[in-house]
Amino acid sequence: MPTEPKMYLNGQIVDYADCKIHAFASVVKYGAGVFEGLRGYWNADAGQLYVFRLREHMERLRYGMKTMRFAQIPSQEELEHAVIEVSRANAIRATTHYRVIAFLDGDDELATTGPTGVVAGAVIRGSSPRAESGMSAMVSSYTRIADNALPPRVKCTANYVNNRAAELEARSAGYESALMLTQEGKLSEATGGCVFLVRKGRLITPDLSSDILESITRETIIELARSKLGLTVEERRVDRSEMTAADEMFACGSGWEVIPITSVGRVPVGDGVPGPATRAIQKTYFDVVHGRTNAHAAWLTPIW
């Protein structure tokens, strides 16, 4: 799906074709970039586009820049403004996926720390059909990158070498996605989302020390599961063998939303079809992100 024609680059709205940086920028040479993927949800009844958890996404982007020692970190307001500007410049009135990248723009050697560039763009994109059908996954032969090497908590562009390897391996083996294990062999996360298991009505998800991204959707689901669905949620280490004990599994992320995982390594999860807890979580999540309930209005930034 094409990127919308107007993009944001270093404080200005530019045409897609003019959204360029130098080929020798540090982000190209050394992967010195951090990024966010987030969504805006069109609510036709309200005639409103709501960006979901804009503040938290831009906070995470700033955390990433700090951890990667960017000398200049754009303000929270400037980063939020980039997404709002892109929405308005493209007159967006449809459910959208935004990509924001903060990067080191200078042509210098390894220890360069600036200058910082920021780019943002939007793609009109609804939910994946997999949200309905579910997806198959394999356990990747690639180990998840470790916190003391390439911290997965930082959404660094270079980290995604690991995710791509796992994703491409899975697709060439005929699966739809991959799950990765930590160096200790515990369940970590999927290539583009965090993972939950459902066992006897309890939700279980790898804890924040399982070499995962601190996913905003994961946190949202934990809160909604507890407060709206009355479910018990366990954040802990998850053994690989626990997956065949699960009644249901799903992956979650801003782009993926909530996607049932119906098999792992061709072994069906539960009955091999999306289960009732997953469906309840999907419904609650979609109601909240579209602003169909007032309970979490603070999570929504209206554009119009």
Chain contacts with ligand PMP (rule: CB under 6 A): 37, 163, 189, 192-194, 213, 215-218, 253-254
Q: Which is nearer to ligand PMP, 74 or 192 (CB)?
A: 192
Closest separation in Å from C-beta 56 to ligand PMP: 8
Output the DSSP codes for 27-59: HHHH--EEEEEEEEEEETTTTEEEEETHHHHHH
CA distances for 110 relative to 26, 106, 114, 292, angstroms: 8, 11, 11, 48
Closest separation in Å from C-beta 154 to ligand PMP: 11
Q: Which is nearer to ligand PMP, 19 or 222 (CB)?
A: 222
How many helices and strands (H and E) does the chain possess?
Answer: 7, 16
Closest separation in Å from C-beta 9 to ligand PMP: 22
Strand order in the sheet with 33-43: 12-15, 6-9, 116-124, 96-104, 33-43, 48-52, 300-302
20 is catalytic: no
Active-site residue, selected from the candidate residues 155, 200, 228, 283:
155
Closest separation in Å from C-beta 226 to ligand PMP: 17
Q: Which is nearer to ligand PMP, 22 or 171 (CB)?
A: 171
Q: Which is nearer to ligand PMP, 63 or 88 (CB)?
A: 63
CA distances for 114 relative to 68, 78, 79, 175, angstroms: 11, 17, 17, 40
Give me the active site residues, please.
155
